[in-house]
């Protein structure tokens, strides 16, 4: 807001100029005041939309549901947006991992060793990254869907990754 005030003050100095410079300055000042007022009204409207049942409460509830679906002490990979990472309470001892962004390649052997240490994968509506989707397709067992799959702002699909021993025994 202070920068807006400085800009308005600068435009107001143009009003004192004689001749044609005064009219554009006045027009600019009027437009700047309209812009500043509309911005202030927009901020007030955004703040008024927050209440006990706002998006933050829904986000925290969804995060709690995701956290309670995964057993305590598990190693979990999060590959979804929005991510529940910021809303987890942290009292269940989960080891959280955020999956690498697309475009950052990793040695496949190293990635495979990293995936062997993962107990659960949390995905969103999309498939997630290709390497993670492949691991879920070959080793994943669906656990639960948390949130609204259609149209809701928060959705997570949780999978448990089978261990090598479970895969060898056919479980």
Could you report the per-residue pLDDT of 86-122, keeping only the tens digit for each?
A: 888 888 888 888 776 666 667 777 777 777 888 999 9
**In this structure, are 70 and 104 located in the same domain?**
yes
Tokens of 161: 């990754």
Joined tokens for residue 42: 């927009």
Same domain, 31 and 91: no
Name the token pair of 58.
Answer: 């829904």
Please tell me whether residues 94 and 133 are part of one structural domain: yes
| Highest-pLDDT range among 4-18, 114-128, 133-147 | 133-147
- The set of residues, in sequence order, having a beta carbon less than 8 Å from that of 74 and lying 6+ positions away, is 94, 95, 119, 120
Domain containing 70: what range? 55-169
Does residue 141 sit in the same domain as residue 119? yes
pTM of the predicted protein model: 0.65
- 96 and 154 fall within a common domain: yes
Domain stop point among 10, 31, 48: 48
Both 146 and 99 in one domain: the answer is yes
Are 64 and 30 part of one and the same domain? no
Judgement on whether residues 27 and 98 belong to the same structural domain of the protein: no
Residues 65 and 119 occupy one common structural domain: yes
The string of DSSP letters for 24-68 reads HHHHHHHHHHHHHHHHHHHHHHHHHT-STTSHHHHHHHHHHHHHH
Helix (H, G, I), strand (E, B), or coil: what is residue 77? strand
- Number of domains, the chain: 2
Convert the pLDDT of each residue in 10-61 to its tens digit: 666 655 655 545 666 677 677 777 877 877 777 776 666 554 456 788 888 9
Sequence-separated (6 or more) residues with CB below 8 Å from residue 94: 67, 70, 72, 73, 74, 75, 76, 88
**Residue of 69, 102, 67, 101 lying closest to 84 (CA atoms):** 67
In terms of domains, do 74 and 137 share one? yes
31 and 65 fall within a common domain: no
Q: Residues 60, 43: one domain?
A: no
């Amino acid at each position: 807001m202070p920068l807006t005030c400085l800009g308005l003050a600068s435009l107001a100095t143009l009003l004192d100029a004689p001749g044609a410079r005064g009219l554009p300055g006045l027009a600019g000042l009027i437009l700047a005041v309209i812009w500043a007022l509309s911005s202030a009204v927009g901020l007030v409207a955004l703040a008024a939309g927050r209440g006990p049942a706002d998006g933050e409460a829904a986000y925290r509830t969804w995060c709690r549901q995701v956290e309670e679906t995964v057993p305590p002490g598990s190693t979990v990979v999060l590959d979804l947006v929005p991510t529940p990472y910021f809303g987890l309470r942290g009292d269940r001892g989960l080891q959280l991992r955020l999956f690498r962004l697309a475009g950052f390649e990793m040695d496949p052997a190293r990635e495979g060793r990293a995936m062997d240490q993962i107990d659960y994968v949390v995905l969103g509506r999309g498939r997630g990254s290709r390497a993670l989707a492949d691991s879920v397709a070959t080793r994943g067992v669906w656990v639960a869907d948390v949130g609204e799959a259609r149209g809701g702002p928060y959705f997570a699909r949780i999978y448990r990754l089978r261990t090598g021993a479970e895969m060898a025994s056919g479980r």
